[in-house]
Each structure stands twice: as structure tokens, then as C-alpha cells.
Amino acid sequence: MEENEDDEDILVVNGDILTDLALTRFLESHRTAGTVASMVLVPYRSTLGVARIDAENRLVTHFETEYQFQDF
């Protein structure tokens, strides 16, 4: 892993989520802890369901609002 010579914080966020995470509070907590890395994990919940797309991955064919996520 490359050293961060500027001693700046780096924030990496999953790009396909919606969150109300208080980023400022999270960053303050990370700095106070003095750790190399911090991570936020939450149980996966969705009231939105899923969108089904066509075989070419181009068009939404329909939405499933009652979808049960098998991996969670």
C-alpha cells in the first residue's frame, strides 16, 4: 500500500447506494480513533425492490417491489 505523504484523509464510498450517513461525524470519529482505516457497515434493507433489465443490459423491463434478496 502506498503511503499518503500529504497525511490527507481519503474517503471511498460505494457508488450505487443512497445513505443519510453523517459524513462529517464519521470523519471526526475516524480521526479521533487514530486508526489507519474506518468502515461503516449496515444491514441491507430496501423498500425499493429491484429493476430487471433486458439481455443486452440496456433497458429496464420491469420492477419487482416484493423481491427477497437471497444473500442478505
Per-residue pLDDT of 3-62, as tens digits, reads 656 678 888 877 667 778 888 999 999 899 888 888 887 666 666 777 788 888 788 898
Whether the pTM exceeds 0.75: the reply is: no
How many CB atoms are located within 10 Å of the residue 67 CB?
A: 13
46 in any annotated domain: yes
**Residue 8 located in a structural domain:** no
- What is the pLDDT at residue 60? 85
The residues that bridge with 52 in the sheet, in sequence order, are 62
- The letter for the amino acid at 71 is D
53 lies in some domain = yes
Which residues 6+ apart lie within 8 Å of 48 measured at CB?
A: 65
Choice between 69 and 7, residue whose per-residue pLDDT is larger: 7
Structurally, how many domains does the chain consist of? Answer: 1
10 falls within a domain = no
Domain that holds residue 49: 23-64
Q: Return the sign of the alpha-carbon dihedral for residues 31, 1, 40, 17.
A: positive
Nearest-angstrom CA–CA distance, 21 and 36: 20
